[in-house]
Structure 1
Amino acid sequence: MTPLRLFILLNPAIGLVFATVFVVLWLNQRNRPYILMMAGASASYALAVTAQMTIPAMPRIGLNTMTSAVLYQLALSLFVDAMLTRVGVVGNRRWLLGISAVILSLVAYFFYVDDSLSTRIYVQNLGAGAMLCFAALRLLAAPVWKPIDRVLFWVVLLTGLHFLPRTVMTMRVDVPAGMITPENFGRSLFYSALGFALVILALLLCLTFLLAVALDIFDDLRRERNGDSLTPLLNRRGFEEEADRRLVRLHGAPASVIFCDIDRFKSINDGHGHAAGDEVIRAVGRLIAEELRREDIAGRIGGEEFVILLPQSGHEDARLLAERLRARIAELHIGALAGATLTASFGVAEAGPNEPLDEVMERADDMLYRAKRGGRNRVEG
């Protein structure tokens, strides 16, 4: 066995290894169907390379040509669908089926009707490049853009773009030299370059996708650890960790803290039950989350107590937000309260330059208790 053929054998091995890894990962993360799709893509890729290497070339039958073409196309389609499903970009399967149908139809035409190996090579390689470029551009429509998605975008885009120059350059060498016939295809420069490229690209794409999945899982675990159990806000630990990071990044720029406490919450629990109390907390938490800007963060730090950090906002902006929240809470209609009015009190404090988080939170808490002593349903600070 030649060193080249031994190296090319790495392709099915890579596909099978990653298929196994993704299946094992999916068994522990069944809420992520795109992991199983990626396992299918890796397995299809391994089968495609194996079919191309082992099925004998049979004139007019095309078992090698069509089997490997279908499997390559399936692997590409599953990879693209998995990548886009992961980021929440849906509605891709019609496009993928349409592009795949066109590519496979052209491959079949240039085998059974107008037999041309060179044309089939261009169709399959440029088609694969077009599908990957399509995937990269669709990735830009992701509702949430993480740093790993930026990496994935460039890896997929550059992988797609590379198909055109590599195919054209190697074919320009092979065709004049007569090295692009079915009999000597395995000894052509194109075949050698393709083998090396696929090993590198398969590793790069699979590893990048695996890293993206691992980071997704890590983010979910962190959200579970730092998220509040009743509201879309952070818990105390999550808020303090994130608020500390954001205050450090401000480098002395203004920031403000708002404390919010639901008035007479104990009487709500005593008079209407703990289920009603939980409903009130959920409603107030949702309302606070609706009012936040992208750079703001909020958390529930006690049973009925909430805190908000407003980076790049001074005292007056914080008071305006607190007044708006106070008015909106008073307008809430909670079914479990049977028409009783819900109110909340607020304390506001602006952070001094490089002031520690615990100190500004303490001042905002003092303002909150001043609001409580002043009659509740008011903003102090």
Structure 2
Amino acid sequence: VLAASYALAAGGFLFQHFTFPVGLAPSKFLSNLCFCLAGSCLVGAIVARHGRPVPYAGIGVLAGSGMGAFSWFLFVQPDLTWRILVVNFALGGISLLAAAELRVVRGNGPTEKMLFVLALLSGLNFFVRTLAIIIANGPFKSYDELYASSYWTTALLLHALLSLLIALCLFTAAALDVVRALKAETHTDP
């Protein structure tokens, strides 16, 4: 599921930068669908890795409402700024849902604490950064303006940074699990 998350995020950026023969609107829809699915898969992988039940209903409501609102502002009442806001708020909500699930498993070690902090930072990134930049720069009129903006630059940078840190935390947690299991086995040998 973790690999699917990263593959979907890559697909989202691919659809964002290239308009496929299906047209601009369907390409952007596919891009943001990939982003929402990537966030959902990532949260599911993180939560399941810690033995918590995956909050499918919460993830579904947040991702579904985000994509529903995105579709409205793409097909019915076209507005690029609102599309950015609704998808970011959906992804921010999904990130905070992960933090809410991780709050009870923080005592298991430093990697769990780091994942909790990264989930909180990710949620704040989607809410605070998005609002701050849009308030400071005003609404976006075109995709060319969006791609040249500080919003897009920071989105790309923070996505890469947070994705890398989350992956490193998960790999470290898995390695520590193996070390714990090996230590437990050494005490059971005669």
TM-score when normalising by structure 2: 0.89
User: 1:73 offset after TM fit, Å?
Assistant: 0.9
1:1-381 aligned within 5 A: 37-55=1-19, 62-142=25-105, 145-175=108-138, 179-226=140-187, 228=188
After superposition, the Cα gap between the structure-2 partners of 1:222 and 1:126, relative to the gap in structure 1 and judged at 3 Å, is same
After superposition, the Cα gap between the structure-2 partners of 1:135 and 1:109, relative to the gap in structure 1 and judged at 3 Å, is same
User: 1:42 offset after TM fit, Å?
Assistant: 1.2
Structure 2 distance, partners of 1:74, 1:193, is 21
Q: Which has the higher helix share?
A: 2
**1:222-241 CA deviation, whole Å, 9 max, x = no partner?**
22222x3xxxxxx67xxxxx
Structure 1 distance, partners of 2:32, 2:129, is 19
SS of residue paired to 1:115: coil
Structure 2 distance, partners of 1:171, 1:187, is 13
After superposition, the Cα gap between the structure-2 partners of 1:180 and 1:56, relative to the gap in structure 1 and judged at 3 Å, is farther
Q: Percent identity?
A: 24
Q: Which amino acid aligns with 1:181?
A: S
Q: Is the 8 A contact 1:180 1:188 kept in 2?
A: no
Structure 2 distance, partners of 1:225, 1:103, is 50
**1:281-333 CA deviation, whole Å, 9 max, x = no partner?**
xxxxxxxxxxxxxxxxxxxxxxxxxxxxxxxxxxxxxxxxxxxxxxxxxxxxx
TM-score when normalising by structure 1: 0.46
Structure 2 distance, partners of 1:143, 1:195, is 28
After superposition, the Cα gap between the structure-2 partners of 1:89 and 1:112, relative to the gap in structure 1 and judged at 3 Å, is same
Structure 1 distance, partners of 2:12, 2:40, is 13
After superposition, the Cα gap between the structure-2 partners of 1:91 and 1:80, relative to the gap in structure 1 and judged at 3 Å, is closer
User: 1:143 offset after TM fit, Å?
Assistant: 9.5
Structural RMSD (CA) = 2.3
Q: Is the 8 A contact 1:87 1:143 kept in 2?
A: no
The higher radius of gyration belongs to: 1
**1:190-229 CA deviation, whole Å, 9 max, x = no partner?**
1122122212122112212221122122222222222x3x
Q: Is the 8 A contact 1:89 1:141 kept in 2?
A: no
Structure 1 distance, partners of 2:17, 2:177, is 36
User: 1:183 offset after TM fit, Å?
Assistant: 4.0
User: 1:91 offset after TM fit, Å?
Assistant: 4.2
Structure 2 distance, partners of 1:168, 1:58, is 31
Q: Which amino acid aligns with 1:54?
A: F
Q: Which amino acid aligns with 2:142?
A: T
Q: Which amino acid aligns with 2:138?
A: V
Gap runs ≥5 in structure 2: none
Structure 2 distance, partners of 1:63, 1:194, is 22
After superposition, the Cα gap between the structure-2 partners of 1:91 and 1:197, relative to the gap in structure 1 and judged at 3 Å, is closer
User: 1:144 offset after TM fit, Å?
Assistant: 6.7
**1:222-267 CA deviation, whole Å, 9 max, x = no partner?**
22222x3xxxxxx67xxxxxxxxxxxxxxxxxxxxxxxxxxxxxxx
Structure 2 distance, partners of 1:205, 1:88, is 17
Q: Which amino acid aligns with 1:163?
A: F
User: 1:131 offset after TM fit, Å?
Assistant: 0.8
Query: Which structure has more RCO (C-alpha within 8 Å, separation ≥ 6)?
Result: 2
After superposition, the Cα gap between the structure-2 partners of 1:143 and 1:160, relative to the gap in structure 1 and judged at 3 Å, is closer
SS of residue paired to 1:193: helix
Structure 2 distance, partners of 1:91, 1:121, is 26
